[in-house]
Amino acid sequence: MIMDIIVPALILGGMGLIFGLMLAFASKKFKIEKDERIEQVREALPGANCGACGFAGCDAFAEAVVKGEASVNGCPVGKAPVAKKIGEIMGTEPEEGDDKVAFVRCQGALGGIKAKAKYSGVNNCQAATDVAGGDLACRFACLGKGDCEVACPFDAIHVVNNLATVDREKCVGCGICAKACPRGVIDIISSKSPVGVACRNTDSGKDVRAICMRGCIACKLCEKKCEYDAIHVTNGVSVVDYDKCVGCGVCVENCPTKAIVDFRKLGDVKAALA
């Protein structure tokens, strides 16, 4: 009777020992060595886990860098200082980058933009856009309901008096706000850009003027006054050629609707919104 218990127990114990030894051998034989640089790169990152690098968080980005699938400059949050640290870990020199910043290409709230309907649904831009393209007369305008503000992980964009405004000191140019905007109002540009056209409306100047006093009317005054051939009306709206722009501000001074913004004087815009 006792043997009926002991023998099966010994057999099971022996099998367990054998399987354990086999697993130990297999784990040692087929062990995948993890590159220690992955952890080093991970520690160099700011830890925002925002996904702005194009990967699913900092861990995935660190692994991609070590595998050669991502640039050492790939973290828009850490910018040059972090790129330098990662470059030292990887034994490579970071490419000379250019910090980015979000730019809201609309000043409708400053130009008395007209409404085409009264919207009383869910208070977000996507919902408003889904209902007849939004409640504003301009189909290119910022709806000012804050999808970008909710999406931004850096507290760098806020809706002030129905217009999304960027805090350039906090903005890292990750592009998350641009992706969240259903109207495509937000561009990601170089932080060194001196001026920008804060309007996307390609309708005729007459139609633009009828609904917003801050819209580009394609009058070409900016184009005519620029000595550097750095701004042209394209498809009904002014576009800056940043490769030629020297930041002289002549286009800003001559724009009759103030549709062109001097980024060095954004305090003026904030004051007008306040």
List strand residue ranges (DSSP E) for the chain, in order. 100-104, 157-160, 163-166, 186-190, 195-197, 231-234, 237-240, 260-262
Say yes or no: 204 and 124 in one domain. yes
Say yes or no: 53 and 116 in one domain. no
Could you read off the pLDDT of 215-273 as tens digits, one per residue?
999 999 999 999 999 999 999 999 999 999 999 999 999 999 999 999 988 755 555 55
What range does the domain containing 217 cover?
100-273
Please report the sign of the dihedral spanned by the C-alpha atoms of residue 238, residue 244, residue 247, residue 250: negative
Mean per-residue pLDDT, 26-38: 69
Q: What is the reported pTM? A: 0.77
Mean per-residue pLDDT, 33-39: 81
**Least confident residue range of 56-60, 181-185, 243-247:** 56-60
Task: Indicate the number of domains in the chain.
Answer: 2
Mean per-residue pLDDT, 56-68: 88
At 78, the pLDDT band (50, 70, 90 cuts) reads confident
Among candidate residues 68, 90, 112, the one where a domain is terminated: 90
Among candidate residues 58, 90, 122, the one where a domain is terminated: 90
Give the CATH number for residue 56: 1.10.15.40
Say yes or no: 153 and 202 in one domain. yes
What average pLDDT is seen over the chain?
A: 87
- Judge whether 26 lies within some domain: no
Say yes or no: 104 and 86 in one domain. no
Give the CATH number for residue 152: 3.30.70.20
Say yes or no: 160 and 68 in one domain. no
Closest CA to 78 of 41, 42, 46, 40: 46
- Judge whether 239 lies within some domain: yes
In terms of average pLDDT, the best of 15-19, 28-32, 98-102, 177-181 is 177-181
Say yes or no: 109 and 68 in one domain. no
